Amino acid sequence: MIELYILIIFMIVGAIIAIEVKDLLSSVVAVGAVGLALSIVFLILKAPDVAITQLVVEILCLIILIRATLRKDLPFSTTGRWFLNTAITVCFIAVFLFVSFKALKQLPPFGYPTMRVASVYLKEGLSVTGATNIVASVILDFRAYDTLGEATVLFTAVIGVLAIVRRVGRKKVGEIVREEDESRPS
Amino acid sequence: MSREHDQGMSLIVKTITRLTVGLILLYGIYIISHGHVSPGGGFAGGVIVALSFVHLMLAYGKEAAFKKLSKQAASFFESAGAIIFLTIALLGFAGGYFFFNFLAKGEPFKLFSAGIIPLCNVAIGLKVGAGLFGIFVALVLLKFESEDKK
């Protein structure tokens, strides 16, 4: 359990560095370090599926952040109204700590869930679906409807991105749009 | 993507990319097709497939990547993956209900087992890979008005 605490402290320190550092590239690298530590945490908690997904999605996000959006430092201002900002932040942290303290005391102990349906999946997953990877049998057979919703969310996200960053809403008759012009908002 | 990298990176990066990009694509396909036997699955494998094309695009510039997978092909694969997944779900009504596992189970630990689960993995892998590559291409090619004036 001790390595888990070390990784969690590392992630908290990385997140604080990502917020506080002035250079945007250093901030993105710190976010990447937090994500990689999170994938190791998943591996320690015996969840290799989630660890693989976290690792590859983190790498893709890092590449997109560095390569596509990080051309120059964006204008960024935090001067003025520091008292109000600090007061609101402290207020929210206090409320959040209080609520999470109340909620965490009500949680069942680690490894003893109140929902009993998971044990049925574990016992009968192999015989009912024939898949030796229990995670695959849950997300694509028992709870495939959730996966359909997730796929719809991703599909909508892709369509939204492609619709927002395209160049023009309508092409004129006979107008030819070159490849590099295609995604330039005008 | 910055302007000096439009034509790709240096010779060292191009040589290493030529050796590794096929292995990355193959590993993604392996993760997708063995999603029901070992850890992995459609989502993770699809992201790895998208990363192999991103790798190609970063090292060789955008023309080389579009020659392998054009934007039209990417959007076609994304829509096709979504439709295949929904079709598999709807075909379950032949056996009784939504997402009914209507194929034979096979024996465990074999590649062709578990009914519809590998097919769903392939559909999700297609959709995720093409969709994330499309998002990357759209954000890379995005240029603002202020940058044109330079």
Rounded distance, CA A141 to CA A147, Å?
9
Q: CB–CB of B1/A67 below 8 Å?
A: yes
CA–CA min distance A58, chain B (Å): 10
Where are the extended beta strands (E) located within A8-152?
A: none
Residue of B35, B85, B115 with shortest CB distance to A130 = B115
Pairwise pLDDT comparison (B133 vs B100), residue with the higher score: B133
In A, residues 23-52, which contact B (CB 8 Å cutoff)? 48-49, 51-52
Find the residue in A nearest to B125 (Cα): A151
Backbone CA torsion sign across A56, A62, A65, A67: negative
Find the residue in A nearest to B111 (Cα): A131
Asked if B102 reaches chain A (Cβ–Cβ under 8 Å), the answer is no
Q: What is the pLDDT of residues A114-158, one digit of tens each?
A: 777 778 888 887 777 777 888 888 888 888 888 888 888 988 988
Rounded distance, CA A156 to CA B127, Å?
12
Residue A40's pLDDT band, with cuts at 50, 70 and 90, is very high
Residue of B39, B124, B142 with shortest CB distance to A183 = B142
Q: What is the pLDDT of residues A157-183, one digit of tens each?
A: 888 888 887 765 556 677 665 555 554
Rounded distance, CA B104 to CA B114, Å?
7
Q: Which of B67, B72, B50, B70 lies closest to B8, judged by CA?
A: B67
Using the beta-carbon criterion (under 8 Å), do B98 and A145 form an inter-chain contact? yes
**Axis crossing angle, helix A48-63 with helix B117-141, rounded to the nearest 10:** 20
Find the residue in A nearest to B40 (Cα): A49
Asked if B146 reaches chain A (Cβ–Cβ under 8 Å), the answer is no
**Axis crossing angle, helix B117-141 with helix B42-60, rounded to the nearest 10:** 30
Find the residue in B nearest to A68 (Cα): B140
Residue B150, pLDDT score? 47
Residue of A56, A64, A180 with shortest CB distance to B48 = A56
Question: Could you report the predicted ipTM of this complex, rounded to two decimals?
Answer: 0.79
Neighbours of A155 (CB within 10 A): 18
Residue A79's pLDDT band, with cuts at 50, 70 and 90, is low
Q: CB–CB of B124/B84 below 8 Å?
A: no
Q: CB–CB of B13/B60 below 8 Å?
A: no
Using the beta-carbon criterion (under 8 Å), do B142 and A151 form an inter-chain contact? no
Cβ-proximal residues to A39 (8 Å cutoff; 6+ apart), any chain: A51, A54, A55, A58
Q: What is the pLDDT of residues B117-131, one digit of tens each?
A: 888 888 989 998 888
Residue A9's pLDDT band, with cuts at 50, 70 and 90, is very high
SS3 assignment, position B88 = helix
Per-residue exposure over B82-100, b if at least 16 CB sit within 10 Å of its own CB, e if not: bebbeebbebbeeeeeebb
CA–CA min distance B94, chain A (Å): 16
Q: What is the pLDDT of residues B42-68, one digit of tens each?
A: 888 999 999 998 888 888 877 777 888
Q: CB–CB of A144/B89 below 8 Å?
A: yes
